Structure 1
Amino acid sequence: MNTSTSAVTAFPDFPAAALCGPLRQPRQMLADQTYDGHLSIHDDKTAGDLGLKAGPIEGPTHFSQFDPLMVQLFGNEWFQTGCISAHYQNMVVEGEEVRAFVQPPKGSERIVHIWAEKRDGTPVLKGTASVGSDACDDQHEIPQRIAKLRPNKGLVINRDLTVGQKGAEAETITMGFDQHMGDYYPFTLSQKLKAITEPSPWYTPEGAASSPWGKAIIPMEMISVLLGSTIKRAGFSGRGPAVGLFAGQQIRLVNGPLFVGQAYELEREIIALSESARTESCWVRTRVIHGDTKALAAEMILNSATLKHSYAAYEQEARELGLI
């Protein structure tokens, strides 16, 4: 493992030996998010209508709190072949404090267990993390959850989608510092860097040259924004209007980091469809391809869950389909 001094200076203000991060107050930056012509669960009123006390903070925002811990364990390799795989357990609203934890590896282990809690111990997420291109992907949290999915009894919202369905059109994306990422993500990278819980000079224009790669890298949590900003083009939308949320997510760097201002091509595929008592889920794998070399740079698996009761026609259509 790389534990060089240059790795640790990615987060100069973070305690070098810590495997438990400090309490942080992540910021809510999706209050104005819209899709399918309506506001999302991150809007306070929409959240209130669904029985929540306020619009929750997006799950991958918490990934930043693990970055310094992963750098301490794995050095620069975290930014090149790091994988974080998490099941989201409880929502966090702005003003609440969250702390990240990592169980150090034993012996030759390369996969570590991670979790995050609120100040009062309420679980926020749990999962796994690793480095290495041969990091036994099937041992991570999200693939293990997919492997345990039971056959659904019948879908209503997602009944027009199929496992194996590919993205409807080619997508080429990039993320600049001041680039607006669309209605799904109504903020820029520069705005995020002013609020990110774990700032690093390697993310910034000023500190780009100091990174081991000589240019600015995209923070792990913002890889989710990069890949999610054009998801509408894939044609994976279920019936609506309905309100969704992230229930679980895995981001794996294969040939990283991902760089600010660099073009990438995306390939998307639905790898599972499932349901619970309250939600219907569409599990999508997004492969990130270097625009110049065509090599695989990264991939993300996202469990996008839609709340059944947020779809007004759910009960009626379920009856028509003979499901209730």
Structure 2
Amino acid sequence: MSDEDTVKSRVLSTLEVPDSDQQSRWREFMTEVYYTLDIRCDSPLGLRGSLCESRFKDLSISAFEAQAHLVRRHVVDVRADQSDDFVLLFPVRGSFLYEQRRETASIEHGDVVVLKSSEPYSVLVSQGARNVTLKIPADRLREAVPWIDRFSAMSGFAAPEIVNLLRNLSEDMMLIQSESHRLGLQMACFDILRMLVEEGRNSIMGQRLAGTAKQTILEGVQGYIRRHFRRTDLDISAAAEHLGVSERYIQKILSDFNLSFNDMLRKHRLQEARLMITSEQFRGKLQIGQIAFLCGFANQSYFSTIYRTEFGISPREDHMYKYKN
């Protein structure tokens, strides 16, 4: 067996590292296991964590448990190391808030997100969080799953039972020492990964039973608006790209429900804005114009006009009425 094919496993930990050096050491560990990453931790007590890695022929599996910290993959690092891997992050405990390609979501146990090392991203790790991660060269994964790029920066696309099956298999694979057994398990891992992505592809493309296809697309659009309504440049083309369908297809589905993307987006933004305008939490802290911008409205005059049309009262009057009564 060549050195290249030798199974490599290791455990890296900051537990014995002085508090003042823990953050820098954790950055070194993460960079060794994945690629160049920046780490930020606000705790004055350092960053305690442990990281396990097991390398296979066509992929590597890792797991870490650590204090709360922020992981960033900067543009300058993407250009410098030219890493081109897919990274599938499976939470085991706690939550992971990720951002890539202007997609932002929090994932927990039973979900997975697909990130690309060839593009910048960030992941906010909650206190005491634990995860399992698959890192696979992009070319190798595209060979096994040709449509994987469609799921970049996506979560919530696959059935939890398949997600959990793949995560559990990955954890078990880290314990197997026999190279021949590991090669067989690696093949099984790719098989389940294809199943997981195919499940997501069918769901997003509306290829389930005919009776649920329209509802699947509608729920996909509604979910996308809820997550991204603050973007002032949000439009139907961004939603179509995210869902992997054409704009025309979305328009057709929405029209069957007597809806339009722009109306759905405007109503959701207005509802969110009214919650902030009438909330005690934001009283005296945010101006009307700031709230409008935070809810995706680039023009305050336009915001005030459609707010009055929707609710029969101006934003300022609504704010004053709330606290006068």
TM-score by length of 1: 0.25
Work out which of the two has the higher radius of gyration on C-alpha atoms and give 1 or 2: 2
**Larger fraction in strand:** 1
